[in-house]
C-alpha cells in the first residue's frame, strides 16, 4: 500500500509544476525553452507558411479536423505499403485493410487500441513514422483542443488562438522535451533503443527464441507522456523491455498522470483572478479534487478486490494470500499492478502492465468503469473537456436549486448549450452500449468472444468502453482482429473522439460570445468542497447509472457467482 | 396577498375539469410535446398489446404473463394520467382567472362624441384608436384610453381586485383608464388609445391562456436535459435486451418497459409544465401581470434592485414626528395648537399629528365640544393651509411656510427670527415643515417626516443575504437621501436624481455584469424600464411606462418587486429540486428492479435485494407503483413551489440538496418497501 501512496505523493508536486509550465505555454508566456525553441518554431512556421492569426472556434475545429484527416490518410498509406518501404529489417508484410483502418484511427484518436502485435505487424518505419509520430500529434491535438476550449471559457471573444501555432508549441515545448527526459530514464533502466533487427538467442531450455528489439524506449516515453498507450510489443508494458523495473513502472505511471492532471491545474490558473493564481486555481482544485476522489474510489476497490484473490483458484489449492496474481508480473506485485491498471484507464492511456482479462471480476470492473465515466482525469485535455460537460450539467441543476438561471464563469448556460452538452454526454454511453449490443447479437461479433457467459460480456463491454473513451487498453482474450471488430471499434474510436471535440468546442464558442454576468453571494459557488461533492454525485448518478444494468450482467454477476 | 397564497390550490370545479383534461391529454399528438411522458405512453400501448397477444414477441412461457402484463399496463396508464392531471390542474387555475376576466369584457355599446358635439352609439368592438367616448357613472369603460376631460371615480376591481375606487382625471399619472373597469361617479371623456382586441385586458387574457403553451428558455433547456436522459435510459434498456439474450437470461418485455419507465425522469417530466404554469399563476395571483415567462425567470437572477424612494421605500412625507416651538413659545402651547388644528383634519398628516400629540400628553380638554362647535377650514391649493375656527373666535391654522408667513406678516406680526432655521432644519433632514399659527401668531413648526415602510429594513437585509443589492433613487438632497438610506438599510442611493440618472445607473450596473430590476410609473421612467432587465410598471402609471416594462403591477405597489423576485427564484428552484429528486430516485429503483430482473437466471443476485422485497414481480410492480404515485404526491409542491426563504446561495443549496437530493435517494427505498409490503401478498394471491 505504501508503494501506491508514494507514487501519489510524488505526483502532487510534479503535477503542480507541470500545470504552471503548461499555463505558460498555453498563454504564450515566457518559458525557459524559448531561446532555443522560438527559433525552431519560427523555422516551422516559415516552412509551413503558418500565419499567426487568431482563429474563430469554427476555423479552429476545421483546422484540427483537416490536419488530422491528412495524417490519417498518409498513415493509412504507409501501413498498407510498409513491406516495400525501407527500415524493415524483420520483413514485416503489409497490413490488411480493416486492420489498417482500425490501427490508423486508433492512433490518430489517441486511443492506441492494438488489434495487431507490434513486433510482428509493423516495420520499424511504421513504428516510428506512424505510431510514434501519431503519438505526438494525437496527444497534441487533444491538448490544443482543450486549450481552445478553456481559453474560450474565459475569453470575451470567440476569435482567439491559432491551431497551428498551438499545435507546434505543444509539441516543441512540452511533448518533445518531456519524452526525451523520460526516454533517457527508461534507457537507464534497461529499455532498448536500437534500429537493429530482432536477436535470435539460445534459451536455457536449449531452444531458439526471437527477442524483439527496436526503438522501444522512445516510443515508450511518448506512449505514456501523451496518454497514448499502444505498446511496441503486443504484451505492452508488462514486457521487461518496455517496462524493466519497478522504477520504470513508477516513471511510466507518473508520465501518464502528469499532463492530464496538469491540464486541470492550467485550467484553474486560467480562470483564477489575477491575485488568486496560487499553486492551484480554486476552480481547478475543485475539479482536480473531484477527479482524485473518483480515482481513489476506483483504486481502493480494485486493490481490495485483487488482494482478496479468487476463491475458485483458492479452492484449487493455489494460495491467494498475496492476492490474485494470475496475469500479473511478479516484479510489480499487487500494488504496482493495481495502480497501473487504475491509472492507465483513468488517464485513458491504455498501456497495461498486467492482463486485465485476468483481474478478479470487481477488480476488472474498475478499469472498465473508469473508461465508462471517461472523466477521471481522462486523456490529455479531452478528459478535462469531458469533465467540463459534467461540470456544466452540475451547474445547471445546482443553479436551478438555488433559483438562478444556470451560469458558469459568468456565462449563462441556455437552451443551445444544454442541447450540445446533453448530446456530448449521450455519445459515449450510446457508442459503448449500442456496439456492445450489436456485437453480442451478431455472429460476427460473437465469433470474437472467447469466454462464455458473464465474462464474455465483460470482454465486449471493455473493448468498446476502451475504444469510445480513446483508451486503447484491451481486456484481451478477445479475438479482435476480424473485419467486424476492426470496423466497429474503429467507428467507436472515431466518433468518440471527433464528435466530442467538435461539440465541446462548439459549446465553448457559444459561451465565448455570451454576455458576461458577475458573481455575488446569490450566485452558485463553483469553487468550494460542496461543488466537488455535487460534481461527483452527478458524475456517478448520470455516468454510473447508465452502465449499471450492463455491469450487473457482466462483472457483478461474475463476482456473485465466484463468491457463492 | 397573504391570503391568496394560503388558499387551497384546488377546488371541486378545477378537480372535475382536471380529471377530464387528464383523459383528453392522452391524445398522442398532444403527448408528443412532452417526450418523457410520450415514451411512457408508447410503452403503455406496447404492454397493452402484449396483454392481448402475450406471444407477440415470442418470449412468453407462463400462463400468468398475461395478468402481469395487464397490471404493468394499468400502472403505466395511471402514471400518464397523473402527469396529465397535474398539468390540467395548473391550467385549470389559470382558466378560472381568464373566465372571470372575460366576464368583465361584456361592454356592448359605447357613446362616441363626434367632432361636432353630437353623440352616437357604437358597438364597443367598432371603436377605433382616437375615438372619443363619454362614459357616465355606472357604465363600463369600453377600451383602454386616456382621460381628456372630467373627473370621476373608477372601480378597477375587475382587474386589480382592489375594491376601493380610484380617482381619474385629466393629466398627471392618473389619466389612463383600462377597458373593463367601471365608472362609479361623475363622468369621463376618454380618448381611446388601443384597438379592439388589443386592450390591456385582452393582452392579459392572452397571456394567462398562453402561459400553458409557451415554454420559457430555461424550461426548454431543462426539457432538453430530460429528453437526453430519457434517450440514455432508453438506450440502456434497449441494449440490455440483446445482452440478456446472449447470456440466455430471460426477461419479460413488460419488465423491460417497466425498467425504462422507472428510470426515465417521469416525476419531473410529468410535473415540468405544471411547475411553469403554476409559477406564472403565482405571479398573477400577486396581481402582477408578467408579459412573458422569461421575465419571471430573469427575476430570479436579479442582482440589483433600483427603487424609488417615495412610494416604494417610504410612504411619502406624511407623519408628524416632532413639534419644534419657536423661541418664547412653550412646547405645550404648540402641541395644543397643532392638536387643535388637526382635530377636524382627516388627512393622514392630520391623523399623525393627533397621534403624536396624544403620545406627548396633549391637553385634550373639551375635545368633543370643540369638534362639534368649531368650523373646519379645509386645505385648498389657493390658501395652502388648513385648520379650524373655534366658537370663541380663536383661529388655528397649519400650513406651508410661505403662506403662513405671509398671512402672519399681513396681520402685522414680525416673523420670528428662528423660524427660518427651524424650517430649514426640517427640510434638510428630508422632512416637510408645517408651520402652526394661532390667531396669526406663529407658534412653531411640525416636523413631518418621511416614514420608511415597516419591515423594509429586514427585507433589504434578506435581499443582501441573497446577494441582491438595493439602490434607492430620490430627488431629495444628499443629506435627506442619506438619512432615509440609513434608516431603510438600502445598500446605496442616488440623491437629486433625474430620470436620465436612472438609466445611467442601470447601464453602469449592467456593464459590470449585473441583472437589474426596477419599478417605475411615470412616462419619464419608460426608457429606464425598457433598459432594465426586469421592469415592473405600476398599473396606475402611464401607458408608456406599462408598454416599456415587462411586468405590470395591478395594485401599483412598487414594493412588490421583491415578491416577484422571490417567485422567480422559487420557480427555478422548484424545477431544480424536483429534477434532483427525480434523478436521485433512480438509485432505489435500480436496487429494486435489477436484482428482481436477474434473480431467476442468476440466483446469486438475491444478495443485492437489500430491501428484502417479496418477490421479483412484487419488486418491479412496487417500483412502478411508487413511480406513478409520487407524481400526484408532488403536485402540491409543483403548484405552490418549494419553500423559499432568503439566504445565501451556499446555504440554500445545502438545504435543498439535503431535502431533495438525499430525500430523493431515501424516500423511494421506504416507499417501495411499503408498497411491496402491501402489494406482495395481493400478488401472491393472484398467483404472480
Report the CATH number that the domain containing residue B384 is assigned in CATH.
3.40.1110.10
B228, B644, B649 member nearest A422 (Cβ): B228
**Residue B279 in contact with partner chain A when CB distance is under 8 A:** no
Of A126, A134, A115, A117, which Cα lies nearest the Cα of A78? A126
Distance from CA of B567 to the nearest CA of A (A): 9
- Sequence-ordered list of residues with C-beta below 8 angstroms from that of B232, at least 6 positions apart, any chain: A425, A426, A429, A430, A542, A546
Give the tens place of pLDDT for each residue, B411-446: 888 888 888 888 888 877 777 888 999 888 899 999
A401, A434, A517 member nearest B653 (Cβ): A401
B332 and B439 inside one domain: yes
**Residue B382 in contact with partner chain A when CB distance is under 8 A:** no
What's the grid cell of residue A264?
Answer: 486541470
CB of B507 closer than 8 Å to CB of B496: no
What's the grid cell of residue A113?
Answer: 487500441
Averaged pLDDT, B402-417: 87
What's the grid cell of residue A131?
Answer: 505510431
Q: What is the DSSP letter of A544?
A: I
Q: What is the pLDDT of residue B1?
A: 34
Q: Do A557 and B569 touch (CB under 8 A)?
A: no
**Residue B576 in contact with partner chain A when CB distance is under 8 A:** yes
Structural Rg of chain B based on CA atoms: 34
**How many domains in chain B?**
4
Q: What is the pLDDT of residue B161?
A: 58
Q: What is the pLDDT of residue A75?
A: 93
What's the grid cell of residue B651?
Answer: 446555504
Assess whether B308 carries a catalytic annotation: yes
B191 and B221 inside one domain: no
Q: What residues of A are in contact with residue B232 (Cβ under 8 Å)?
A: 425-426, 429-430, 542, 546
Q: Do A414 and B579 touch (CB under 8 A)?
A: no
Instruction: Kindly state the helix (H) or strand (E) to which residue B442 belongs, with its residue range.
Output: strand B441-452
Distance from CA of B293 to the nearest CA of A (A): 13
CB of A449 closer than 8 Å to CB of A486: no
Does residue B211 surpass a pLDDT of 70? Answer: no
Parts of chain A with a pLDDT under 70:
274-277
**Residue B584 in contact with partner chain A when CB distance is under 8 A:** yes
B522 and B381 inside one domain: no
Q: What residues of B are in contact with residue A541 (Cβ under 8 Å)?
A: 583-584, 586-587
The 3-class SS string of B557-591 reads CHHHHHHHHHHHHHHHHHHHHHHHHHHHHHHHHHH
Taken in order B270, A544, B676, B56, the sign of the CA dihedral is positive
A400, A417, A437 member nearest B572 (Cβ): A400
Q: What residues of B are in contact with residue A463 (Cβ under 8 Å)?
A: none
Does residue B198 surpass a pLDDT of 90? Answer: no
B493 and B602 inside one domain: no
What are the two backbone dihedrals, phi and then psi, of residue A481, each rounded to the nearest 5 degrees? -90, 70
Q: What is the pLDDT of residue B73?
A: 94
> What residues form DSSP beta bridges with A407?
A412
- Sequence-ordered list of residues with C-beta below 8 angstroms from that of B216, at least 6 positions apart, any chain: B276, B292, B293, B294, B296, B297
Q: Give the CA distances from residue B610 to residues A542, B414, B589, B607, B668, in Å, rounded to whole numbers and listed in that order.
A: 22, 97, 12, 7, 13
CB of A526 closer than 8 Å to CB of A287: no
CA angle B612, B614, B617 (to 5 degrees): 120
In a domain, residue B603? The reply is yes
- The single residue of B131, B202, B281, B308 carrying the catalytic annotation is B308
* Alpha helix positions (H), B189-300: 200-210, 217-246, 253-263, 266-285, 293-299
Q: Do B239 and A437 touch (CB under 8 A)?
A: yes
Q: Do A405 and B594 touch (CB under 8 A)?
A: no
Of A334, A325, A328, A332, which Cα lies nearest the Cα of A354? A328
Give the tens place of pLDDT for each residue, B635-661: 989 888 888 887 778 888 999 999 999
- Chain A / chain B CB contacts < 8 angstroms: 207
Provide the total of helices (H) and of strands (E) in chain B, helices listed first. 25, 22
Q: Do B231 and A549 touch (CB under 8 A)?
A: no
B198 and B93 inside one domain: no
What are the two backbone dihedrals, phi and then psi, of residue A140, each rounded to the nearest 5 degrees? -65, -40
B241, B300, B513 member nearest A405 (Cβ): B300
Of B436, B387, B430, which Cα lies nearest the Cα of B408? B436
Q: Do A560 and B604 touch (CB under 8 A)?
A: yes
Strand ranges of the sheet holding B187-192, from the earlier edge strand across to the other edge: B119-123, B109-113, B132-136, B187-192, B145-149, B176-177
ipTM of the complex: 0.90
B106 confidence band (pLDDT: 50, 70, 90): low
Give the tens place of pLDDT for each residue, B665-676: 999 999 999 999
B141 confidence band (pLDDT: 50, 70, 90): confident
B501 is an annotated ligand-binding site residue: no
B84 and B189 inside one domain: no
Mark which of B207, B231, B250 sits at the end of a domain. B207
Averaged pLDDT, B540-560: 77
Q: Give the CA distances from residue B663 to residues B548, B579, B583, B658, B666, in Å, rounded to whole numbers and listed in that order.
A: 44, 12, 11, 6, 5
What are the two backbone dihedrals, phi and then psi, of residue B208, each rounded to the nearest 5 degrees? -70, -40
B171 confidence band (pLDDT: 50, 70, 90): low
Give the tens place of pLDDT for each residue, B290-304: 877 788 888 888 888
B306 and B260 inside one domain: no
Taken in order B158, B159, B162, B166, the sign of the CA dihedral is negative
Distance from CA of A439 to the nearest CA of B (A): 9
Does residue B120 surpass a pLDDT of 60? Answer: yes
Q: Give the CA distances from residue A139 to residues A56, A126, B358, B487, in Å, rounded to whole numbers and listed in that order.
A: 22, 18, 86, 62
Distance from CA of A332 to the nearest CA of B (A): 34
Q: What is the pLDDT of residue B40?
A: 94
Q: What is the pLDDT of residue B462?
A: 80
Does residue B4 surpass a pLDDT of 60? Answer: no
B581 is an annotated ligand-binding site residue: no
Going by their DSSP bridges, the two strands B385-389 and B395-399 should be labelled as antiparallel
3-state secondary structure of B310: strand
B522 confidence band (pLDDT: 50, 70, 90): low
Q: What is the pLDDT of residue B5?
A: 39
Q: What is the pLDDT of residue B249?
A: 83
CATH number of the domain within which B462 lies: 3.40.50.1000
In a domain, residue B382? The reply is yes
In angstroms, the CA A26 to CA A153 distance is 14
CATH number of the domain within which B168 lies: 2.70.150.10
Interface residue of A273, A395, A401, A532 to substitute, partner B, most B CBs within 10 Å: A401
Mark which of B447, B469, B488 sits at the end of a domain. B447
- Sequence-ordered list of residues with C-beta below 8 angstroms from that of A461, at least 6 positions apart, any chain: A368, A432, A436, A550, A551, A554
3-state secondary structure of B407: helix
In angstroms, the CA A146 to CA A110 distance is 14
Q: Choose between B210 and A443: higher pLDDT.
A: A443
B186 is an annotated ligand-binding site residue: no
B581 and B618 inside one domain: yes
Does residue B479 surpass a pLDDT of 80? Answer: no
Mark which of B181, B207, B233 sits at the end of a domain. B207
B440 and B461 inside one domain: no
In angstroms, the CA B292 to CA B297 distance is 9
Q: What residues of A are in contact with residue B580 (Cβ under 8 Å)?
A: 397, 401
In angstroms, the CA A310 to CA A325 distance is 9
B549 confidence band (pLDDT: 50, 70, 90): confident
Angle (deg, nearest 10), helices A382-401 and A282-308:
110
In angstroms, the CA A442 to CA A454 distance is 17
Range scoring the smallest mean pLDDT among B162-166, B311-315, B382-386: B162-166
B59 is an annotated ligand-binding site residue: no
What are the two backbone dihedrals, phi and then psi, of residue A198, each rounded to the nearest 5 degrees? -65, 150
Q: What is the pLDDT of residue B163?
A: 61
B45 and B28 inside one domain: yes
* Alpha-carbon torsion, ordered B55, B58, B64, B70, to 10 deg: -60
Q: What is the pLDDT of residue A371?
A: 92
Distance from CA of B642 to the nearest CA of A (A): 10
In a domain, residue B666? The reply is yes
Residue for cell digits 460480456?
A: A457
Range scoring the smallest mean pLDDT among A426-430, A556-560, B150-154, B574-578: B150-154
CB of A556 closer than 8 Å to CB of A363: no
In angstroms, the CA B298 to CA B564 distance is 10
Does residue B60 surpass a pLDDT of 60? Answer: no
What's the grid cell of residue B259?
Answer: 425498467
**Averaged confidence pLDDT in chain B:** 83
Q: What is the pLDDT of residue A342?
A: 94
In a domain, residue B93? The reply is yes
In a domain, residue B560? The reply is no
Instruction: Kindly state the helix (H) or strand (E) to which residue A199 belongs, with its residue range.
Output: strand A199-202
A410, A523, A534 member nearest B467 (Cβ): A523
Q: Which domain holds residue B415?
A: 328-447
In angstroms, the CA B268 to CA B656 distance is 16
B86 and B235 inside one domain: yes
What are the two backbone dihedrals, phi and then psi, of residue A408, each rounded to the nearest 5 degrees? -130, 125
B477 and B430 inside one domain: no
Structural Rg of chain A based on CA atoms: 23
Q: What is the pLDDT of residue B319?
A: 83
In a domain, residue B253? The reply is yes
pTM of the model: 0.85
CB of B463 closer than 8 Å to CB of B566: no
In a domain, residue B321? The reply is no
Amino acid at each position: 500500500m505504501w508503494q501506491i501512496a508514494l507514487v501519489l505523493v510524488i505526483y502532487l508536486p510534479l503535477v503542480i509544476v507541470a500545470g504552471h509550465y503548461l499555463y505558460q505555454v498555453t498563454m504564450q508566456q515566457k518559458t525557459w525553452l524559448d531561446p532555443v525553441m522560438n527559433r525552431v518554431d519560427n523555422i516551422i512556421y516559415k516552412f509551413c507558411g503558418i500565419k499567426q492569426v487568431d482563429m474563430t472556434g469554427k476555423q479552429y475545429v476545421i483546422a484540427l479536423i483537416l490536419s488530422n484527416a491528412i495524417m490519417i490518410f498518409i498513415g493509412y498509406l504507409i501501413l498498407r505499403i510498409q513491406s516495400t518501404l525501407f527500415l524493415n529489417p524483420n520483413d514485416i508484410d503489409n497490413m490488411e485493410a480493416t486492420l489498417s483502418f482500425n490501427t490508423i484511427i486508433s492512433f490518430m484518436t489517441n486511443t492506441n487500441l492494438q488489434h495487431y502485435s507490434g513486433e510482428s505487424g509493423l516495420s520499424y518505419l511504421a513504428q516510428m513514422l506512424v505510431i510514434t509520430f501519431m503519438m505526438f500529434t494525437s496527444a497534441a491535438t487533444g491538448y490544443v483542443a482543450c486549450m481552445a476550449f478553456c481559453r474560450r471559457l474565459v475569453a470575451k471573444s470567440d476569435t482567439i488562438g491559432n491551431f497551428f501555432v498551438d499545435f507546434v508549441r505543444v509539441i516543441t515545448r512540452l511533448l518533445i522535451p518531456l519524452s526525451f527526459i523520460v526516454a533517457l530514464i527508461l534507457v537507464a533502466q534497461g529499455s532498448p533503443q536500437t534500429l537493429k533487427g530482432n536477436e535470435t538467442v539460445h534459451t536455457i531450455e536449449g531452444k531458439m527464441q526471437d527477442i524483439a528489439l527496436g526503438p522501444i524506449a522512445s516510443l515508450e516515453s511518448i506512449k505514456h507522456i501523451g496518454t497514448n498507450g499502444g505498446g511496441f510489443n503486443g504484451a505492452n508494458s508488462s514486457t521487461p523491455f518496455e517496462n524493466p523495473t519497478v522504477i520504470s513502472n513508477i516513471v511510466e505511471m507518473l508520465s501518464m498522470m502528469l499532463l492530464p492532471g496538469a491540464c486541470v491545474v492550467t485550467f484553474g490558473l486560467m480562470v483564477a483572478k489575477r491575485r488568486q493564481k496560487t499553486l492551484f486555481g480554486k476552480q481547478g482544485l475543485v475539479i482536480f479534487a473531484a477527479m482524485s476522489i473518483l480515482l481513489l474510489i476506483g483504486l481502493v476497490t480494485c486493490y481490495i478486490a485483487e488482494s482478496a484473490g479468487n476463491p475458485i483458484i483458492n479452492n484449487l489449492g493455489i494460495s491467494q494470500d498475496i492476492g490474485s496474481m494470475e496475469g500479473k508480473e511478479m516484479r510489480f506485485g499487487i500494488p504496482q499492478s493495481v495502480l497501473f491498471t487504475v491509472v492507465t484507464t483513468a488517464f485513458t492511456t491504455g498501456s497495461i502492465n498486467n492482463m486485465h482479462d485476468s483481474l478478479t471480476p470487481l477488480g476488472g470492473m474498475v478499469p472498465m468503469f473508469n473508461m465508462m465515466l471517461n472523466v477521471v482525469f481522462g486523456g490529455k485535455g479531452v478528459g478535462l473537456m469531458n469533465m467540463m460537460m459534467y461540470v456544466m450539467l452540475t451547474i445547471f441543476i445546482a443553479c436551478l436549486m438555488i433559483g438562478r438561471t444556470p451560469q458558469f464563469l459568468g456565462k449563462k448556460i441556455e437552451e443551445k448549450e444544454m442541447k450540445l452538452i446533453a448530446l456530448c454526454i449521450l455519445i459515449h454511453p450510446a457508442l459503448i452500449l449500442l456496439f456492445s449490443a450489436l456485437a453480442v447479437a451478431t455472429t460476427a461479433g460473437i465469433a470474437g468472444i472467447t469466454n462464455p457467459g458473464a465474462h464474455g460480456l465483460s470482454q465486449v463491454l471493455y473493448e468498446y468502453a476502451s475504444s469510445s473513451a480513446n483508451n486503447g487498453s484491451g481486456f484481451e482474450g478477445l479475438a479482435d482482429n476480424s473485419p467486424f471488430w476492426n470496423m466497429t471499434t474503429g467507428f467507436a474510436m472515431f466518433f468518440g473522439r471527433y464528435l466530442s471535440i467538435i461539440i465541446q468546442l462548439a459549446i465553448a464558442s457559444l459561451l465565448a460570445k455570451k454576455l458576461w454576468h458577475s458573481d455575488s453571494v446569490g450566485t452558485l459557488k463553483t469553487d468550494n468542497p460542496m461543488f466537488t461533492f455535487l460534481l461527483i454525485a452527478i458524475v456517478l448518478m448520470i455516468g454510473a447509472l447508465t452502465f449499471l444494468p450492463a455491469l450487473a450482467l457482466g462483472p457483478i454477476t461474475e463476482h456473485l457467482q465466484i463468491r457463492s | 396577498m397573504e391570503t391568496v397564497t394560503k388558499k387551497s390550490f384546488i377546488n371541486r370545479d378545477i378537480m372535475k375539469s382536471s380529471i377530464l383534461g387528464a383523459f383528453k391529454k392522452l391524445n398522442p399528438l398532444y403527448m408528443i410535446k412532452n417526450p418523457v411522458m410520450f415514451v411512457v405512453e408508447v410503452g403503455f400501448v406496447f404492454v397493452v398489446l402484449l396483454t392481448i397477444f402475450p406471444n407477440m414477441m415470442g418470449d412468453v412461457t407462463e400462463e400468468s404473463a398475461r395478468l402481469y402484463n395487464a397490471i404493468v399496463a394499468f400502472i403505466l396508464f395511471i402514471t400518464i394520467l397523473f402527469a396529465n392531471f397535474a398539468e390540467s390542474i395548473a391550467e385549470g387555475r389559470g382558466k378560472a382567472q381568464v373566465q372571470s376576466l372575460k366576464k368583465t369584457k361584456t361592454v356592448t355599446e359605447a357613446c362616441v362624441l363626434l367632432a361636432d358635439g353630437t353623440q352616437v352609439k357604437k358597438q364597443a368592438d367598432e371603436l377605433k384608436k382616437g375615438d372619443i367616448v363619454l362614459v357616465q357613472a355606472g357604465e363600463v369603460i369600453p377600451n383602454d384610453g386616456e382621460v381628456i376631460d372630467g373627473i370621476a371615480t373608477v372601480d378597477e376591481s375587475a382587474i386589480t381586485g382592489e375594491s376601493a375606487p380610484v380617482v381619474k382625471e385629466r393629466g398627471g399619472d392618473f389619466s389612463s383608464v383600462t377597458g373593463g373597469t367601471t365608472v362609479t361617479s361623475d363622468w369621463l371623456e376618454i380618448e381611446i388609445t388601443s384597438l379592439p382586441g388589443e386592450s390591456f385586458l385582452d393582452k392579459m387574457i392572452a397571456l394567462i391562456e398562453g402561459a400553458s403553451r409557451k415554454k420559457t428558455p430555461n424550461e426548454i433547456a431543462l426539457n432538453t436535459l430530460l429528453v437526453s436522459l430519457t434517450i440514455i435510459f432508453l438506450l440502456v434498456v434497449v441494449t440490455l435486451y440483446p445482452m440478456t439474450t446472449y447470456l440466455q437470461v430471460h426477461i419479460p418485455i413488460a419488465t423491460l418497459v417497466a425498467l425504462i419507465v422507472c428510470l426515465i425522469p417521469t416525476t419531473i417530466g410529468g410535473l415540468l409544465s405544471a411547475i411553469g404554469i403554476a409559477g406564472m399563476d403565482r405571479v398573477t395571483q400577486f396581481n402582477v401581470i408578467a408579459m412573458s415567462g422569461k421575465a419571471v425567470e430573469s427575476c430570479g437572477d436579479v442582482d440589483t434592485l433600483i427603487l424609488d424612494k417615495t412610494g416604494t421605500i417610504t410612504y411619502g412625507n406624511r407623519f408628524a414626528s416632532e413639534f419644534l416651538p419657536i423661541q418664547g413659545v412653550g412646547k405645550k402651547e404648540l402641541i395644543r395648537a397643532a392638536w387643535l388644528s388637526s382635530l377636524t383634519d382627516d388627512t393622514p398628516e392630520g391623523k399623525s399629528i393627533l397621534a403624536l400629540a396624544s403620545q406627548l400628553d396633549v391637553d385634550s380638554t373639551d375635545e368633543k365640544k370643540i369638534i362639534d362647535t368649531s368650523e373646519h377650514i379645509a386645505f385648498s391649493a389657493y390658501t395652502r393651509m388648513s385648520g379650524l375656527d373655534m366658537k370663541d373666535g380663536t383661529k388655528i391654522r397649519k400650513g406651508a411656510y410661505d403662506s403662513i408667513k405671509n398671512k402672519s406678516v399681513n396681520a402685522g406680526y414680525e416673523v420670528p427670527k428662528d423660524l427660518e432655521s427651524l424650517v430649514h432644519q426640517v427640510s434638510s433632514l428630508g422632512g416637510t415643515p408645517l408651520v402652526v399659527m394661532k390667531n396669526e401668531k406663529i407658534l412653531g413648526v411640525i416636523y413631518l417626516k418621511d416614514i420608511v415602510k415597516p419591515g423594509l429594513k429586514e427585507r433589504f437585509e434578506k435581499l443582501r443575504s441573497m446577494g441582491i443589492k438595493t439602490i434607492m433613487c430620490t430627488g431629495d438632497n444628499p443629506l435627506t437621501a442619506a438619512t432615509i438610506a440609513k434608516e431603510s438599510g438600502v445598500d446605496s442611493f442616488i440623491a437629486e436624481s433625474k430620470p436620465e440618472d436612472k438609466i445611467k445607473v442601470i447601464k453602469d450596473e449592467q456593464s459590470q455584469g449585473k441583472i437589474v430590476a426596477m419599478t417605475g410609473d411615470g412616462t419619464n421612467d419608460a426608457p429606464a424600464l425598457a433598459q432594465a432587465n426586469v421592469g415592473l410598471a405600476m398599473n396606475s402609471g402611464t401607458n408608456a411606462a406599462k408598454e416599456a416594462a415587462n411586468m405590470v403591477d395591478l395594485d401599483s405597489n412598487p414594493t412588490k418587486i421583491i415578491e416577484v423576485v422571490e417567485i422567480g427564484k422559487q420557480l427555478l428552484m422548484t424545477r431544480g429540486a424536483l429534477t434532483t429528486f427525480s434523478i436521485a430516485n433512480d438509485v432505489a429503483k435500480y436496487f429494486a428492479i435489477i436484482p428482481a430482473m436477474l434473480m431467476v437466471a442468476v440466483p446469486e443476485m438475491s444478495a443485492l435485494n437489500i430491501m428484502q422485497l417479496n418477490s421479483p414481480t412484487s419488486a418491479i410492480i412496487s417500483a412502478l407503483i411508487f413511480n406513478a404515485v409520487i407524481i400526484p404526491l408532488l403536485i402540491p409542491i409543483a403548484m405552490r413551489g418549494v419553500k423559499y426563504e432568503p439566504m445565501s446561495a451556499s446555504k440554500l443549496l445545502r438545504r435543498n440538496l439535503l431535502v431533495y437530493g438525499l430525500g430523493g435517494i431515501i424516500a423511494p427505498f421506504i416507499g417501495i418497501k411499503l408498497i411491496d409490503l402491501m402489494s406482495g401478498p395481493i400478488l401472491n394471491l393472484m398467483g404472480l
